Amino acid sequence: MKKAFITGISGQDGYYLSKFLLEKGYEVHGTIRRSSSINTSRIDPLIAEYEKIEKLFLYYSDLLDASSVSSLINKIQPDEIYNLAAQSHVKVSFDNPIYTTQVGTLGSLSLLEAIRNSEKPSKFYQASSSEMFGGVDSNSLSDASIFIPKSPYAVSKVFAHHITTVYRESYNLFGVNGILFNHESPVRGETFVTRKITRAASKIALGLQEKVYLGNLDAKRDWGHAKDYVRMMWMILQTDEPEDWVIATGKTTTVRDFVKMAFAYAGIELEFKGEGIDEKGIVVSCLDPKYQVEKGNEVVAVDPRYFRPTEVDLLIGDPTKANTKLGWIPKYNLEELINEMMESDLKLMTKDQYLKDGGYTIMNYFE
């Protein structure tokens, strides 16, 4: 039975990866952070199923506490380490640049040092990001493309990426970088654009919200499903030779088209009119009798508050190496991903839940 150690187990990928590994029979050890309110909601079903039977173990640990990270690695002696912990919001990284950079750089380095000093040669996975490419190249991006990071978050990921390579080459350590393009799911953080859209489209369809304010509608992303991407994280640690991988779908879509597809799931057709900060998403028709949204309603508007100091305009990845060398083929396309997210959010957004959440004035402030 293999042991995996996951930092950031309470996040989106932490949930899908730990579920995947537990179902494979792994013993999973994960770190959570102490917070003033409980932050394990994503993994609560896994805790209920696997903690009592001693398959899932959780520890309080912040990646910035190098001593706690190193004691855990020494104690657990994992076969595989997945470093998923990060302040992962690009816009927030401009507001909290030092913290984001510390976690991304020193946090990852602390893990590598702990592995280097441990007797067990644990395999190490670093969560690298397509954000490192900076969106200036309109070609499909591979692991050979150059990095032009445009945010504190991206710069910190470039450091972690390179230091993983340095440890691999200097100490013969099995360290790999998975350069993952955006991946989403029904448990995606609510402040990332896809989940913000599916939550808002659900609330608007149910008559619980009038409008959603977004930033750059022209931004293009290569969106996949987190479930497909965590499978690939595991696959690349099963190889014999450590190397870096790009994980992507090879297709890119604008934020605007994502909005249209999400509303379409609820039978609401939108058209966009106007330009720049005056652009609006307007209801053309609402065909599903379950939802009563009036034709002509303005349900999407632009708020410059969501613009970033520098924008990554376009990301599209080239997954050829993953497809051909490892046989990794994503099971979900974008439409299936959006349908799953909308189905889940429409269920969650009952009136009771909405009121329990404190109403949309509070929620929208951070979204």
The per-residue b/e assignment along 262-285, b for 16 or more CB within 10 angstroms, e otherwise, is bbbbbebebeeeeeeeebebbbee
Place of tokens 């999407």: 300
d(C-alpha 207, C-alpha 291), whole Å: 8
Residues β-bridged to residue 247: 180
Query: Checking DSSP bridges between strand 224-225 and strand 183-184, what pairing results, if any?
Result: parallel
In sequence order, the 6+-apart residues with CB closer than 8 A to the CB of 319 are 246, 247, 248, 249, 250, 328
Map the footprint of ligand NAP across residues 40-69, applying CB under 6 A: 62-64
Contact string 4-43 vs ligand GDD (x = CB under 6 A): ----------------------------------------
Closest approach of ligand NAP to the CB of residue 310, in Å: 18
Q: Which of 18, 87, 108, 253 binds ligand NAP (CB under 6 A)?
A: 87
d(C-alpha 63, C-alpha 102), whole Å: 9
Query: In the numeric block, which tokens belong to residue 342?
Result: 């909308």
Binding status of residue 191 toward ligand GDD by CB under 6 A: yes
Binding status of residue 161 toward ligand GDD by CB under 6 A: no
If contact means CB under 5 to 8 A according to the sort of partner, which of ligand GDD, ligand NAP, none does residue 84 touch? ligand NAP
> Which C-beta is closer to ligand GDD: that of 122 or that of 194?
194
Query: Checking DSSP bridges between strand 3-7 and strand 27-32, what pairing results, if any?
Result: parallel
> Which C-beta is closer to ligand GDD: that of 101 or that of 122?
101
Q: Which of 14, 149, 175, 215 binds ligand GDD (CB under 6 A)?
A: 215
Residue 233's nearest CA partner among 30, 23, 82 is 82
> Which C-beta is closer to ligand NAP: that of 105 or that of 239?
105
If contact means CB under 5 to 8 A according to the sort of partner, which of ligand NAP, ligand GDD, none does residue 74 touch? none
d(C-alpha 186, C-alpha 199), whole Å: 10
Binding status of residue 10 toward ligand NAP by CB under 6 A: yes
> Which C-beta is closer to ligand NAP: that of 97 or that of 189?
189
d(C-alpha 272, C-alpha 284), whole Å: 10
> Which C-beta is closer to ligand NAP: that of 279 or that of 311?
311
If contact means CB under 5 to 8 A according to the sort of partner, which of ligand GDD, ligand NAP, none does residue 11 touch? ligand NAP
d(C-alpha 164, C-alpha 130), whole Å: 16
Residue 12's nearest CA partner among 174, 227, 218 is 227
Q: Which of 72, 219, 259, 293 binds ligand GDD (CB under 6 A)?
A: 219
Binding status of residue 222 toward ligand NAP by CB under 6 A: no
In sequence order, the 6+-apart residues with CB closer than 8 A to the CB of 97 are 152
Contact string 114-153 vs ligand GDD (x = CB under 6 A): ---------------xxx----------------------
In one-letter notation, the amino acid at residue 190 is: E
Binding status of residue 281 toward ligand NAP by CB under 6 A: no
Can you give the binding site for ligand GDD, defined by CB under 6 A? 88, 90, 129-131, 181-182, 191-194, 196, 214-216, 219, 221, 255, 306, 308, 311-312, 315
Can you give the binding site for ligand NAP, defined by CB under 6 A? 7-8, 10-14, 31, 33, 35, 39, 62-64, 84-88, 103, 127, 129, 180, 182-183, 189
